[in-house]
Every structure is written in structure tokens, then in C-alpha cells.
Chain A
């Protein structure tokens, strides 16, 4: 069932304008009333003016797209509105569990039905202290905090508006909704798979229900191998399921009836998968192709694509910015319109000989996976910082293997527990599974992959244009390619030359990095300085011994900061200051050294003697970075600003590592900022005694996350800041910042900012002239 590429596609143009409208509405805010008037005006004009009706219709779609998105913008979550006025709520909530995030941490996605007895619909995350079942409804007393999205760091949209913590005992109440039954059914099916397959059930769960319970290790390997698409429920799965179900039904019925029966079963499957965008997309597309078959007309791929994206964005325009949806449409575009017109063998040879036909199909498959992997690189580099061509090889075995594993998992799912046939299926599954795992392990060692190379938006756009132009060549549209060569290359040059930094970008960011410290300073000339690198794997336990392997595990830096830096186009850290080598300050160091170029590293003479430092030096992580060991007060000049190290000086003898933290002051013409690491009162007193005049600063990063043992009144008085920054997350186990500290700071009448409320950004570093 192939979509005819030559058939008419009247929907394409209006839908393109509809999408442009949605994107426009996202960028600029437009009054809904104005749009409504404009739309009705266009409609009336269209009725009377016959000549320009088509143009009017297309503009109407643009306006309607803007309107659709603007309406969604207005629908902000009711719970978020309540939480704007209160810092947190402690109320009884009734809710239905929709999904399990993590069984170990007992975190669930729930749909709120009522708050304190009042009906209120919203999606929140619930962290429980007892096990609750998906699909069931409960009532319990909970503490609800707003799920603040960090306005600077968070890139991906979030559907959840708040996070709740269970306080009282959960009471189960009866389900009323159909969706609840679906949730329960999903849970039942998943647990039946778990019983039958044991610890290998993860793959079947991912294949059949898109359950993301795979081990992180496997996910990383799959990403590097470029075959992660095989284990998430995608359009390909729906096509496979279509083949299986329709061939099965056709044993009993004629084709039309089989296709008719297929539709409800695939809808049930989509609802069990929580309507993942790629699933919805392929269901709509298959339905249109089936409809066309019934109507005896060929239908073009462009028409089905346009219709499906129209329906999806009509229901929820936010989906347009979903990365899953974008990747799904890019792949389908390549499948329909990206293949080159060339054959290995002559047409009649292919028709008459099945060996030639098979070879031709294999060539087509390999070509397709190559082209798709290339086409999606701008997207994956922009969103995830990864790109992999290993998938071309991975797909050769991966796709056939998955097309056996998928029906097999289905058979395991439906065959009853304890029968011999079930045991046979399970045995087959396990055999294939071990093959699959060894295949992943082979593929991820292949060398054609990039990781943590985030692109900025402009770079991604430039790359996309280059790839689009190459596709013109692949489709042998040489004339168009020649015509567009100059504009395309100008556009690419333009995107590449857009400067990474303008004056507004020069600022200081104190990142919301959980229990840890990380501050970035961007100077006007584009130089960057990073003070500390945030927490490592076991963050929150800074004193615990952390072994070398844990340092390479994922950290806050690799998850959040690298994507952000990539998007900002920062590829190089010119100055890196490591105040001390506790895990909450240098947790991301190894990752940073692996992925970014570092110019200079400033480190105290105490730190250099530590095991971790020696280990890093022995492994040659530092590369070409110049290491400056600070053993006394000294100054550096960076872009007309002065960086002065005040502590520890050569006479100071610390009695613990915190007190040996580097303390430095950044001076500009008008302002000065004091960074204090984790010093405690002992070092503070030493500083007040010896450098009282040097401490004076407008801004102060409060030492040691606002612990009680730091920020003594004398020290604060010596600094006398107008604004202080505290690096502590919400609801941390240390209860930082301590109330005593807060009291002392409040006495100084300084403005207090907490990273737990979102990354602090101070715009502009006025340079010394």
C-alpha cells in the first residue's frame, strides 16, 4: 500500500500556512479579538471576491493557526494560578493515577479531580510514600508545590504544573471514567508481561507500550548506536501492527472488513499508549489511505501528511513543538520524497526475478535509513546534542529483529500464563533478546556518532539548509539546486555569522543546579568564566566518598548545562575556577573537560594535592588547559574587569576543606561581586581580620549554600551587599538556607535571591573603561 506521490494534495498549502500561523503566534503575542475580526473579515471578503478567493483562503488558514495557538496560551493551568499566590498548599486531593514515572522513587503522573473538595482538573506529579496503582482513583492529604520551570535553563515544555508530596494515607475511591479503565488495563498488561518475562520484560514493555523503564545504560548505548527509534513506539510499529492484524483478519473476512476491524483495535492500542504523537500520526495516515482505497482513488503522501498534522495540531497546537512529532514527520518526509531515482537493476529484471527484487529492496532500506539519519541530525544535535550514523548498520539487523520481536512480545502478552506454548514463546523471546543486546553492544562501539555537541538554533538552521539543498541533488533536481545555490549559501553564511554574543548577553548566571554551585559569567567580548561545575552523581551527599567512576556518570552539568551552553553557542570556557573539590562543586568537572575546551583553570594549592586531582591529571583530562595554582592573593584582568583572589592566602592554615575554598572578587567599573565557595565562619573571620576593605561588594554569593556555620554577621557587615545569591534547592535534606542565616542576611537589608526559585541572572557587566 504505497502512497501515490503524483496524486493531488489540496490540503498541503493551507496546512503549511496553518503551521506558519502557529509558529508566528508562538513568537509574537497577538490580541485574540483582533485575530477574530481579521478572520471574519477575510471570510466575508472571500465570499464576495471570487478572483482572489484562493489567496484569501490561504491567509485565513494562517490567521486561524495563530488564533488556535493564542487560545491555548490563554488556557493556563488553574492550579498554577492558585500556586502563584501561595508558596505551597496542604490540602486533600482526589486524583486518578495515569502513569508511573519511577517505581523505586514512587513517583506518579496523576490527574487531579478535586482540591479540598472543589473540582479542579490538572496534571501533576505525585511523590508517594506507599504504592498506588495506575488507573485507580485515590484521595489523600498532600503538600503541593509549584513545579517551577526554570525560565532560563529548562528547554523542554512540561505538561505538569505542580509536584505533590504525600502526607496522609491514601484512600482508594471508585473509578468512574473510561480512561481509568484504560490506565488499569495498561497496568495489568504490563504486570502480566513482567510476570512472564521477569527481568527481560523491559524490552517488551518498551516495544508494545512505549514504557520508558529501560536501564539508562541501555538507553545511552541505543542512542550512540542510533537505533533508539526501534524501541520506542513509532509509526513503523503501527505499520507492522497493521500488517499483522489485517493479514490475520483476512483469513476470515474480505479486505474491507478486515481493515474496518483493524481501526478500533488500533485506536485501543493508541489510547493504551497515551496517544503518543507518532502513533497518532501514523493512525491518521493509515486511516486516510484505507479510506482512499475504499473510495478507489489514489492518495498522495503529502495529502495524508498534511491532514494528519492538521488534525493533531487542531486538537493540541503545542504538539507542533514536540520533538517526537518533528522527528516523526522528518522521517516520513524522507520516506515519501527523499529517495533518489536510481535502480541497481533494470525494471523488468526486478519484476521478473525475486532475487533482484530482494536486493533492490535491501538497497532501498539501507539508503532510506542513511538518508533519514542524515536528515534528522540538525534536530537531534539541537535538542539532544547527539547524532549517529551507526544506525545505518544497526538497522540492517535491528529492523528485522524488531519485526520478529514485536509480534513475539504480542504473543507472549496474549498467551495464558503457565501453558507450554507460552513457555516456548518466552524462550524464543529470551533468545532473540540476548541477540538484540549483543547487537546493541556491537553497534554502539561503531565510530560514527557524536554526543554532547549541542548546536545553537542558528547553527541548526544552517545545517538544515545545507541538508535540504543536498536532498535537491539526491532527487536529481539539478536545475533547482543550481538556482538556489547562491541564496542558500548566503543564508547559511548569514546564520553562521550571526554573532554569538551581543551586549545584552553579557551577564552573570547563578544556575539552579540543585544541591551544588555553578556560576557562569559571560563578558562583553564573548569570553566565558565558570565558577564551579555543579553536583555530581551522588549530589546531596557532598561529604560522602565518591569514587572515580561516579565522576564520569551523568551529572547536572551533562544533563542541563551542556544543552544550554550548546544552544547559546558557547563552545569554550575561557576561565574555570574550582573553589574546592567537593562533589557538589566539581561533580561535573570530568564531563566538562571531556566536552568543552577550557582555557585556564584556577585552583587552590590545597586542591592540587588531592587524590581526585591527581587522578584527573594522570588520566590527562586537562588537555591543553593552563592550570594556575593559587597560593596567595593575586589579580587577573579579564576584558576590562579585574578578578582578585582573596583567599586562601599563604599565611592561612585551613582546618577543613570548606574553609580552604577559593574566594574571589570580580570588579567592574561600577560594581563588584564576591564569590565565596563554601567557606565557614573560621575563614570568614580570617578574611574580616586581614582584608576587611577588600571584602566590600555589591553582590555576594552566600557561602556554603546558606548553612548556619557560615555568613557570620561580621562578615556580612564587612561585605554589606545590596543583593545576595543563595545556591540551594527547594526542600533539600539539609534544610538550607538555615533560618538563622536568613535572619542575619535580612538584618543587612539585602535583597535575597534563591536558586531554588530559578536560575539567577544578572544582566550586564559594565566594563571598566
Chain B
């Protein structure tokens, strides 16, 4: 009976909290049933998924193969996959996650990524998941690293180990304002491998939030390759 009473009390408390701060869609503010739902039905309907038939290397949706992007600059990673197109609610959700201190979208993004890893044959048999690191100054500012959160949630879902062998040495400028050439220059030498033994001969899944030109992922992949990684597959939440 004791446990039942406590449960009742907790339910009452939760109802009280819902009265004061009603659960709402993070994007449009519509009312939702449960906080873990993150976004409402209407916003969910507006999401656009990236389907089959993309370039196996860079994940571009251009139908002509081999794709122009991959020919232009050789990517260091083996494959790139994205879940959503970087438009509409996803754009806002990622912004909220990165800059407004809400961490629930991380859990929301983890689910389709985990499903993708389980269903894609090329993504199977990897050793661990890692995330794009944030510089420690930036991390202190923000309080958390959003890709870290996503990667951690994914690793919990698919029972794959989660490690972070790479660190960001240089607090680089935000990539959002720069052109492609500047992005590459901005990032050169920004990352180092902290634990070389964790990388050598391993198959790694690398997770990031947005794929724009791929320069961040490429730079990390380069660093990992230099340390002797066997296979690097990248997954991003959204693709611009």
C-alpha cells in the first residue's frame, strides 16, 4: 500500500506541475500530452525525411552517380547518412537544442538514428559511437554538448559503447557564417585524438547535428584516419 500511496502522490504532483507549466510543443507552443513527445502532431507532419537512393558516400540526394560533391572534394569518411532535411521544425528544434538550453530534442533525435543504424546493413558491426566534440570553453558556456547528448542517447538505445576519443583543441568560429573555403581553413588542425589506442583498427560511427558542406565531419574523419581508424561512418540529424 505504501508504494501505491507514493505513486498516487507523485501523480498528483505531476498533475500540479502540468497545471503550472503545461507540456507544450517546443516549436509551435501547441499543447501536447506528454513532455517527452517534444513536438506536436502538426509539427511532426511537417518534418521531411530523407529517403532511399542517396549517394552512398556523402548522402547527397542528387540522383546522378557518382555525385558531384564527392568528385569535387574527396571525403575522408566512408559513408554519410542524414535523417531529416534541414528545413521547417527541424531547423528550429536544432536551434533550440543548441542555443536555448532545452535538451529534450536530443532524445527525440536519437530514436530515428538508432532505427537507421539497426536497419542499414552498412552501418552494422561498428565498434562504438562517438560525437563531434565541443571546445571546453564553449561547453562551459552552454552547459552541455548537444551532439554528445544525441550520441549518448543513441548508444543507450542500441546497446553500443559510447566513447569520445577526439577533442577540440581550438575554439573555432561558428561555422554558420562561413563559406566552404573558410570553413575548411577555420577547422584545420582543430581536432586531436586523445586516446590513440581507442581508435587504431576500429570501426566508428560519428554523430553530428547538421551536415552542411561536411567539412567538420571531414576534418574529424581525417584526424581519425591518421590515428588508424578502419572505418568511419557518419550520421547527422539533418542535412542542409
Contacts and interface: CB of A to CB of B under 8 A. Distances in A.
Interface of A: 4-8, 10-11, 254-255, 288, 291-293, 295-300, 303, 307, 352
Contacts of A295: 17, 21, 35
A543 B109 CA distance: 86
Nearest to A353: B177
B45 interface: no
A307 B29 CA distance: 18
Nearest to B105: A296
B22 A7 contact: yes
Contact of B35 (A6, A255, A297): A297
Interface string B7-27: 000000000010111111010
Interface residues of B, number: 20
B143 interface: yes
Contact of B24 (A291, A298, A352): A298
Interface in B187-222: none
Contact of B20 (A5, A288, A296): A288
Nearest to A295: B21
Contacts of A288: 20-21
Contacts of B24: 4, 7-8, 297-299
Nearest to A351: B176
Most chain B CB within a 10 A radius of its CB, from A5, A6, A288, A307: A6
B104 A296 contact: yes
Interface string B29-66: 11100010000000000000000000000000000000
A91 B30 CA distance: 64
A296 B22 contact: no
A337 to B, nearest CB: 14
Contact of B29 (A7, A255, A291, A352): A7
A296 B103 contact: yes
A250 to B, nearest CB: 8
B101 A293 contact: yes
Given A291-B20, A307-B20, A298 B26 contact: yes
7 contacts: A7-B22, A7-B29, A8-B22, A8-B30, A8-B31, A295-B17, A303-B22
B143 A298 contact: no
Contacts of B240: none
Contacts of A8: 22, 24, 29-31
Contacts of B177: 352
In the A-B complex, the 4 residue pairs with the closest CB atoms: A6-B29, A7-B29, A7-B24, A292-B21
Scoring A292, A295, A300 by chain B CB atoms within 10 A of each residue's CB, the highest score goes to A295
Given A291-B21, A295-B17, 11 more contacts: A4-B24, A5-B29, A7-B24, A7-B29, A8-B31, A11-B20, A291-B17, A291-B20, A292-B21, A297-B21, A352-B176
A509 B23 CA distance: 59
Contacts of B101: 255, 293
- With a 10 A CB-CB cut-off, give which of A7, A288, A297 has the most chain B CB atoms: A297
Interface in B156-192: 176-177
A299 B31 CA distance: 11
Nearest to B96: A298
Contact of B143 (A5, A11, A255): A255
Q: Which of B22, B28, B102, B104 has the most CB of A within 10 A?
A: B22
Contacts of A303: 20-22
B21 A299 contact: yes
Nearest to A292: B21
Nearest to B177: A352
Contacts of A4: 24, 29
Contacts of A352: 176-177
Nearest to B95: A351
Contacts of A298: 24, 26, 29
A200 to B, nearest CB: 37
A288 B21 CA distance: 8
A12 to B, nearest CB: 12
A666 B19 CA distance: 66
Contacts of B26: 297-298
A698 B195 CA distance: 107
Contacts of A297: 21-24, 26, 35
Contact of B22 (A5, A6, A10, A291): A10
Contact of B19 (A5, A7, A10, A300): A10
A293 B21 CA distance: 10
Nearest to B38: A296
A22 to B, nearest CB: 21
A296 B102 contact: yes
B95 to A, nearest CB: 10
A215 B31 CA distance: 52
A14 to B, nearest CB: 11
B20 A300 contact: no
Contacts of B102: 296
Most buried by B among A5, A10, A11, A298: A298
A300 B29 CA distance: 9
B148 to A, nearest CB: 14
A307 B103 CA distance: 26
A721 B125 CA distance: 112
A6 B35 CA distance: 16
B190 to A, nearest CB: 21
B41 to A, nearest CB: 15
A218 to B, nearest CB: 41
Contacts of B23: 297
Contacts of B30: 6, 8
Contacts of A300: 29
